[in-house]
């Protein structure tokens, strides 16, 4: 099965449904990173913007507020469950529309756009060079691109610690990590690769800036969230109660090493990328 078909199946199956259920919590997790990329893109009133991998529409609505009534927003995603949330959130906004399609190959209605944006929605392309060329084709001459993507896993203990904690539990078989050029959350961890891909897609004036912060959370809440959403949750989806109980103890213990009392601090590292068409 081609990778894009796998991604469509993935984001329309249990993973997409879980993300839709947990959209509010995930938005709180990702808000600061998304805002940093929004600020870097610096859209202005009256512009038309394409939000790629728009998910539940959070950034689409935020951009709609920035471009104002004279502007226009189009959110594109392959996940029907997430788009359903987005349409609900954007109800009543006349300058917002959504398209269920693959941004790798589809130029959505409303092109060409003044700007293209994404919050962690670009790392799953089967052929990223062709995908960014397609996004370039959807942009106006001198249009702008801005997105946020993750740095390498070892710079993101919020992601790595829960997953590593459950390795070795009976019946728990994490999938092998993807290769550095394979689609996935960390496909754009290498900034030189990002520059090569964007350059091959016709983008110029490429700038990659580091962004770092911390998740500060209650230890019990962070443990519960780590087992409800993310890679550890997916691996444990079919586990029985005994294994889940053991996983909870392991994850809580692992996160406890990053805690001061009941408050856990976990580092995050991302890239804020901007370019021009």
Cβ within 8 Å of residue 78, ≥6 positions away: 7, 8, 11, 12, 100, 101, 102
The reply to whether omega before 112 is within 30° of 0 (cis) is yes
pLDDT in tens, 174-216: 778 788 788 999 999 999 999 999 999 999 999 999 999 999 9
pLDDT in tens, 119-171: 999 999 999 999 999 999 999 999 999 999 999 999 999 999 999 999 999 88
pTM over 0.75: yes
The alpha carbon dihedral of 189, 119, 6, 202 has a sign of negative
**Collapsed DSSP state (helix, strand, coil) of residue 264:** strand
Averaged pLDDT for residues 239-268: 94
pLDDT of 254 reads 95
pLDDT of 118 reads 98
88 C-beta neighbours (distance < 10 Å), count: 10
């Amino acid at each position: 099965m081609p990778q894009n078909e796998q991604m469509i199946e993935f984001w329309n199956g249990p993973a997409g449904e879980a993300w839709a259920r947990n959209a509010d919590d995930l938005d709180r997790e990702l808000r600061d990173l998304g805002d940093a990329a929004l600020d870097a893109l610096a859209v202005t009133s009256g512009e038309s913007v394409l939000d790629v991998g728009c998910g539940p529409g959070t950034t689409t609505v935020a951009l709609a507020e920035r471009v104002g009534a004279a502007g226009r927003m189009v959110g594109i995603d392959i996940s029907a469950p997430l788009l359903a949330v987005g349409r609900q959130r954007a109800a009543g906004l006349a300058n917002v529309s959504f398209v269920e399609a693959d941004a790798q190959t589809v130029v959505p209605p409303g092109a060409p756009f003044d700007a293209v944006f994404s919050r962690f929605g670009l790392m799953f392309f089967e052929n990223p060079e062709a995908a960014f060329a397609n996004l370039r084709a959807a942009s106006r001459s001198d249009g702008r691109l801005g997105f946020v993507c993750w740095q390498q896993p070892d710079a993101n203990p919020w992601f790595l610690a829960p997953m590593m904690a459950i390795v070795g539990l009976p019946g728990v078989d994490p999938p092998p990590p993807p290769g550095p050029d394979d689609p996935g959350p960390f496909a754009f961890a290498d900034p030189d690769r990002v520059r090569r891909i964007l350059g091959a897609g016709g983008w110029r004036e490429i700038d990659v800036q580091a962004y770092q912060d911390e998740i500060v959370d209650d230890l019990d809440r962070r443990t519960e969230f780590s087992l409800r959403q993310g890679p550890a949750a997916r691996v444990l989806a079919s586990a029985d109660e005994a294994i889940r109980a053991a996983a909870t103890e392991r994850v809580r213990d692992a996160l406890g090493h990053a805690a001061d009392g009941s408050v856990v601090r976990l580092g995050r590292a991302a890239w804020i990328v901007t370019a021009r068409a």
